[in-house]
Chains A and B, each alone.
Chain A
Amino acid sequence: MRKPRRRGGLAGAQSDASDTGTAAVEDSQPRSPSPYRLKVSPTRETLTYAQAQKIVEVDLDGRLHRISIFDPLVVITEDEMTAQDIAECNSNKENSEQTSVSTVVSSPRRSVANRGKKKDVKQLSSSQNHCSNSHGQSQTQSSGNSHHGTLPKPTFKEHEFYEPVEAPPRPSAYYRYIDKSSEDPDTDAEYDMDEEDVAWLELVNEKRDSDGQPHISPDTFELLIDRLEKESFLESRSQASSQSVIDEDAFCCVCLDDECLNSNVILFCDICNLAVHQECYGVPYIPEGQWLCRCCLQSPSRPVDCVLCPNRGGAFKQTSDGRWAHVVCAIWIPEVCFANTVFLEPIEGVDNIPPARWKLTCYLCKQKGCGASIQCHKANCYTAFHVTCAQRAGLFMKIDPVRETTVNGTTFSVKKTAFCEAHSPAVNGSDDEETGGRVLGCRANRGRSAYMQTPELKKQKGSNKVDSKQPQKKGKKEEVSKKTTTLLVTVPEIPAQRLNKISKDVIIQKKNQFMQRLHNYWLLKRQSRNGVPLIRRLHSHLQGQRSAEQAEPDEKLNAVREELKYWQKLRHDLERARLLIELIRKREKLKREQVKIHQAVTEHQLTPVLVLLSSTLEQLQEKDTAKIFAQPVNLKEVPDYLEFITHPMDFSTMQSKLEAHKYRSVTDLEADFNLMISNCLLYNAKDTVFYQAAIRLRDLGGAILRHAQRQAQNTGFDLDTGMHLAESPNKNDYYRCTFEDVDTLLDPDNRLHMTTENQLRELLEKLDVVTSMRSSGARTRRVRLLRREINKVRFKQNLKNSHMLNGDLKEDDDEDDEDKEMDADHNLSSSSSDKDDCKSTPPPMLEPTGLALSPPPGDTPQEPPTLRPMTSDPRTSSCGPPGIQFEYGRASSHIDPMFFVRTLTTEVSHLNNKIIETGYF
């Protein structure tokens, strides 16, 4: 036997049938007048673990019996058995469901208990199988006279060393309900057989038996039904016949109100679409799943007629004598009431209606002798009308709750007032309407109903015209029921080929015949259930589906959706392509960069000296902001230039020499640089712009060149090839030096052992180092001191040189450019030839150099020559040219020497930063 079915929502409240089976357990008192008291065995849920350990579960006849191991069991005989069986069946809700089931009762047997030690083999009674097909047959044995058989001797033995088996570990999680995803239900059957199916299948199997064919298993049956259901579901979906269209403004057809509160929602009958409030129809709890109104539930095929009015449609309930009446009618007709005021059924008291009421003629439908009418509440007005007619016509009907205090206590009742059309309190009504004023529990809102004329018509349409054969009034209910009946037939229709396909899944003999039968059976079953799918999931699904379909023609929507999806996919692809191409673009840019870097690398590899030199040259050129030295001296402008200068030099020439690999080392470059400077100094007078520029460039460039020289030494070049040495030389850290070193050097006594050139070189180096240090007060001071020393040394050199009167510039050491300059000046002055300053527009002027040299050495420490020009000579300003020279003089006369120092140091530090930055070797 299959597990018992649950019946109905309410009946099924007892949660799990298979677990709650009752068991017949012998009572402890051995003899009772009525043979055996039945005791409901405890459900599993109520047991504690400890209790469960002492319970034996016996599965008898599909029912579980739990018997305590302490309960004595009584041996019973067959006759007693029967009686017990009957009693049991009657007492037990579950068993009563199984109406036509042969009950096989075997006597409860106490099997080996969990507690293994006492392994008792008390066989209490030999079991007898007893088939009783009809329960009615066996009421005779209720008396407890039983003949006892002799008890068999129990035999047992004790195990000495018995280890109780460890209880299996409990699963960490108990069973969970997992909703099936919509994809996989195809694999197994969702349908469960009910009793009807079981009976049917039994019949079929009997037939098959007689034909010598094998049985159809219930599983197969379920599977097939499941398939049929799903097929029809798909079918109906594709048909998409809009079933019942429910208007949004649905209102309860009892109270004509559309109010919908959480505690009192409007329910819709799943078949006829009847809309009623929970309270109005007496549905205190919303059942799960489908809900059917009474008349769909109990009289689905025939429309019912109200005994109290001629109208059809609306909310019906059965009367106590099995007829039907509107709930509204029952509410309004004073003699009629509900037997159960919660469930509002059945309707009682129809018989109590006085004949006078039956005889009233409804002034609305004019039908005589048809139903019971009520009368206008107005005194002296005897106008009669049916309740439903009144509702339909929108008469004033109002129910007010009334609280009455009587001797018995407070009771709540309602006062119902209904007026005929003539006496309707119009103002009141409109008031109601305007404010939307709800009367508590308002069952008849006149304003509302008047205003809801149309929908009301729809519902109650048939009401007064029942006679006129125009079943327009049959109203919604009728229409709907018609619709549903047609639907019933159409929906389950499954094309034969599909049927074949379904049947392919199973292997049965005489398949076609069986399938035909099954299909018919299923059709009938569906019909009997008003076309509601047998699988609940599909049922609710169907509804959702339908409403979705109503919203928009499904196919069109789908098509559009598909299209949109397609485009979006395309967009996606394009987007990806775009990203890819963007990446490619970036890659190509990087590759381009790579080529450039590659080139630079190759250059560094092949011609490192060239690179160093060109960068040095570039830096030097940068220092020449006025571009004075950028191009060769224009001989047309200065025709006599070559008279003085034998080897003209300029940056562009240097550049081309560099490119032609004429320079092998920094020294070569430096030589040309110095040549250029000295040329300038030689040719130009001391107070010209050019002279100033040359001096300035000499100092700045000197630093750059010294830095380049150091770099070159550090890197180690093969001067022959202009490439790196195989091994890099030891690195000298030229920049490691402390203020102490500087200080010792600053003391002239410490330098006595050195030549002036060496002294100058040392000092310049220290200057470079110190200026490259982080700016601080100590640094600034030392820089100043260094400069002073440098100038002193230079001056000394000059003096020395002037004594030597050595005019050959070429043989001079690079370091003593100052001296050369002085020298040149001296020469110039000695020759006393007036030279034109050809490079500038200002008129040439001759600087009496002798005066420049006049200050005795050491009398005033000379500031760096760059920015401390000619101010020492007051006459320069007077005899100087009006133009630049004048400005220079004037400006410098106002400038505080400290300012020069500051600017100078910042300039130098900037320069050094630059050098450090550019020196990336």
Chain B
Amino acid sequence: MAKGMYLEHYLDSIEGLPCELQRNFSLMEDLDKRTEAKKAEISELASEYIEKVKNLASEERVQHLKKIDSAYNKCKEFSDDKVQLAMQIYEMVDKHIRRLDAELARFENDLQEKLDSGSQDSSDEKQSRKDKNMKDKRGSHARDKKTSDQDSPKQKKMKNGPNISESLLAMHPSDVLDMPVDPNEPTYCLCSQVSYGEMIGCDNSDCPIEWFHFACVGLATKPKGKWYCPRCTQDMKKK
């Protein structure tokens, strides 16, 4: 099957993902360890400073504090690296997801086409199924000829679709939505809810919240240019 092919390709591409993830995460772990070490060093320095501060000349104090400062700078560096790394990983997975979505859409299209082409012959059978129902004496529904003539095209569109393809495909989007709710799902926005619908990102890279629901910030459409969240706007106004 042709559709199998590109999905196969996809499988190939995704094969490396776990390793990649692992590599990145171990890197992150390493950074984290180093940060922690630095932190320990800082606290040591700090207690040392507190102890000795009385006997220290101001130059020495400055020196000591500088040491602490540089340690902090290192810490911050590591932290920045970690954030960067996390963003990279996120991008990576996101890319895969997007690709998979695209492939799935293609897959569905193909399926749909195939079903549509086959619908001509299958429609009869479907009708027969309808009659079977009647034969079963359960579907004793009225079938007025006139209305049925009018309805049949519409019904076909509604019924033929769902019959196979949609009953089959309908699973897909809903499935993603119907995923069991992860209690740890990240929350966003002023409302601290999980992401849903359309979201907008604050253009302040240091924004603590980052993403906002359109409704929560009173947006209906995507604004042009830069957009800052209410909090960041407030902060910026202060400065």
Whether A287 lies near B137 (C-beta < 8 A) is yes
Q: Which chain B positions have C-beta within 8 A of A577?
A: 21, 93
Chain B nearest CB: distance from A744 CB in Å?
Answer: 38
Contact B79 A575 (CB under 8 A): no
Q: CA of A607 to CA of B53 in the docked complex: distance in angstroms?
A: 10
Query: Is A286 at the interface (CB under 8 A from chain B)?
Result: yes
Is the Cβ of B128 less than 8 Å from the Cβ of A547? yes
Is the beta-carbon distance between A248 and B124 smaller than 8 angstroms? yes
> By CB atoms of chain B within 10 A, which of A262, A550, A582 has the most?
A582
Q: Which of A273, A571, A588 interacts with B79 by CB under 8 Å?
A: A588
The answer to whether A260 and B90 have CB atoms under 8 Å apart is no
Tell me the nearest residue of chain B to A610, going by C-beta.
Answer: B65
When distances are taken between beta carbons in the complex, the residues of chain B under 8 Å from A246 are: 128, 131-132, 135
16 contacts between A and B (CB under 8 A): A259-B144, A261-B143, A267-B135, A273-B135, A543-B136, A544-B132, A551-B126, A571-B175, A574-B93, A579-B182, A591-B35, A595-B39, A595-B76, A606-B46, A660-B58, A722-B53
Q: Please report the C-alpha to C-alpha distance between residue A546 and residue B14 in the assembled complex, in whole angstroms.
A: 40
Q: What residues of chain A lie closer than 8 Å to B131, measured between beta carbons?
A: 246-248, 250, 266, 268, 275
CB distance from B185 to the nearest CB of A (A): 6
- Given known pairs A552-B164, A564-B171, A661-B58, the reply for A572 and B136 (CB within 8 Å) is no
When chains A and B are docked, how far (Å) is the Cα of A588 from the Cα of B89?
12
B129 lies within 8 A of A579 (CB): no
Chain B residues with CB under 8 Å of A258's CB are 143, 145
B9 in the interface (beta carbon within 8 A): no
B72 touches A574 (CB 8 A): no
A636 → chain B closest CB, angstroms: 31
Q: Mark A575-608, 1 if CB is under 8 A from B, else 0.
A: 1111101111111110111011011001001110
**A567–B72 contact, CB under 8 A?**
no
Report yes or no: B97 in contact with A550, Cβ–Cβ below 8 A.
no
Q: How far is B4's CA from A436's CA once the two chains are assembled, in angstroms?
A: 50
A571, B83: Cβ atoms closer than 8 Å:
no
Q: Which chain B residues numbered 77 to 115 have a C-beta less than 8 Å away from chain A?
A: 79-80, 82-83, 85-87, 89-90, 93-94, 96-97, 100-101, 103-104, 107, 111, 115
Query: How near does chain A come to B36, taking the closest CB pair, in angstroms?
Result: 10
Cα of A727 to Cα of B17 in the assembled complex, Å: 57
- Whether A721 pairs with B129 at a CB distance below 8 angstroms is no
Partner of B122, one of A551, A596, A598: A551
Scoring A residues 548 to 568 as 1 if CB is less than 8 Å from chain B, else 0, what string do you get? Answer: 101110000100110111011
Indicate if B234 sits at the interface (CB-CB under 8 A). Answer: no
Complex contact B186–A583 (CB within 8 A): yes
The 9 closest A-B pairs by CB, nearest first: A248-B127, A268-B135, A592-B79, A585-B86, A661-B58, A547-B129, A260-B143, A588-B82, A550-B125
In Å, the complex CA distance between A595 and B77 comes to 10
Taking the complex as formed, is A570 at the interface, i.e. its CB lies under 8 A from any CB of chain B? Answer: yes
Contact of A723 among B53, B75, B129, B175 (CB under 8 A): B53
Give the distance in Å from the alpha carbon of A287 to the alpha carbon of B140 in the complex: 12
Chain B residue nearest to A283 in the complex (CB):
B137
Residue pair B58, A572 in contact (C-beta under 8 Å):
no
Which residues of A are found within 8 Å of B186, using beta-carbon distances?
A: 579, 582-583, 586
Known contacts A261-B144, A563-B7, A574-B97; 16 additional CB pairs below 8 A are: A258-B145, A260-B141, A262-B141, A265-B134, A544-B136, A547-B132, A564-B171, A585-B89, A588-B79, A588-B86, A591-B79, A592-B80, A595-B75, A599-B76, A602-B46, A606-B46
Q: Smallest distance from the beta carbon of B76 to chain A beta carbons, Å? A: 6
Is the pair A267, B137 in contact by a Cβ cutoff of 8 Å?
Answer: yes
| Interchain CB contact under 8 A, A261 and B142 | yes
- Decide: B54 and A720 in contact? CB cutoff 8 A: yes
Q: How far is the CA of A567 from the CA of B6 in the complex (A)?
A: 12
Residue among B28, B129, B169, B184 facing the most chain A CB atoms (10 A cut-off)? B129
Most B Cβ at <10 Å: residue of A265, A548, A551, A567: A551
B49 located at the interface, meaning its Cβ lies under 8 Å from any Cβ of chain A in the complex: yes
**Overall SS of chain B's interface:** helix
Q: B111: which A residues are within 8 A, CB to CB?
A: 560
Inter-chain contact A568/B134, CB cutoff 8 Å: no
A659 within 8 A of B: yes
How long is the Cα–Cα vector from A438 to B143 in the complex, in angstroms? Answer: 14
A583 touches B79 (CB 8 A): no
A662 contacts partner chain B, Cβ-Cβ < 8 Å: yes
* B231 CB–A CB distance under 8 Å: no
Q: Which residues of A contact B144 (CB under 8 A)?
A: 259, 261
Residues of chain B at interface, number, CB under 8 A: 80
A906 within 8 A of B: no
Cα-based distance from A607 to B68 in the complex (angstroms): 12
Q: What is the bound-complex CA distance between A55 and B208, given in angstroms?
A: 82
Interface residues of A in 378-416 (CB under 8 A from B): none
Rounded to whole angstroms, the CA-CA distance of A275 and B130 in the bound complex is 14
A294–B48 Cα distance when bound, in Å, is 106
B100/A660 in contact, CB under 8 A: no
B42 at the interface (CB under 8 A from A): yes
CA distance A261 to B185 in the complex (A): 54
- A428 within 8 Å of B (CB atoms): no
Query: A712–B93 Cα gap in the complex (Å)?
Result: 52
Would you call B216 an interface residue if the criterion is a C-beta within 8 Å of the partner chain's C-beta atoms? Answer: no
A-side contacts of B184, CB under 8 Å: 579, 583
Cα distance A548–B115 in the bound complex, in angstroms: 15
Q: A248-B130, A568-B172 are in contact. Are A576 and B182 (CB under 8 A)?
A: yes
In the assembled complex, the CB of B178 is this many whole angstroms from the nearest CB of chain A, namely: 10
Neighbouring B residues of A561 by C-beta, 8 Å: 168
Asked if B137 contacts A248 (CB within 8 A), the reply is no
Flag if B134 contacts A547 (CB, 8 Å): no
Task: Report the separation of the CA atoms of residues A581 and B136 in the bound assembly, to the nearest whole angstrom.
Answer: 54
- List of A residues within 8 angstroms of B34 by Cβ: none
A587 to B7, CA, bound (A): 34
Report chain B residues within 8 Å CB of A596: 76
Q: A571-B104, A595-B76 given as contacts; is B83 within 8 A of A564 (CB)?
A: no
Interface: A191 (CB within 8 A): no
- Cα A288 to Cα B39 with chains together (Å): 80
Given A246-B132, A547-B128; A602-B68 close (CB under 8 Å): yes
Residue B233 at the chain A interface, CB threshold 8 Å: no
B128 A248 Cβ-Cβ under 8 A: yes
* Residues 15 to 68 of chain B near chain A (Cβ within 8 Å): 21, 28, 32, 35, 39, 42, 46, 49-50, 53-54, 58-59, 61-62, 65, 68
Interface residues of B in 164-205 (CB under 8 A from A): 164, 168-169, 171-172, 175-176, 179, 182, 184-186
Q: Does A245 reach chain B (CB closer than 8 Å)?
A: yes
| Residue of B whose beta carbon sits closest to that of A540 | B136
Contact with B along A893-911 (1 / 0, CB 8 A): 0000000000000000000
CB pair B94 A723 closer than 8 Å: no
Closest Cβ neighbor of A571 among chain B residues: B100
A305 proximal to B (CB < 8 A): no
The reply on A522 being an interface residue by CB < 8 A is: no
A270 at the interface (CB under 8 A from B): yes
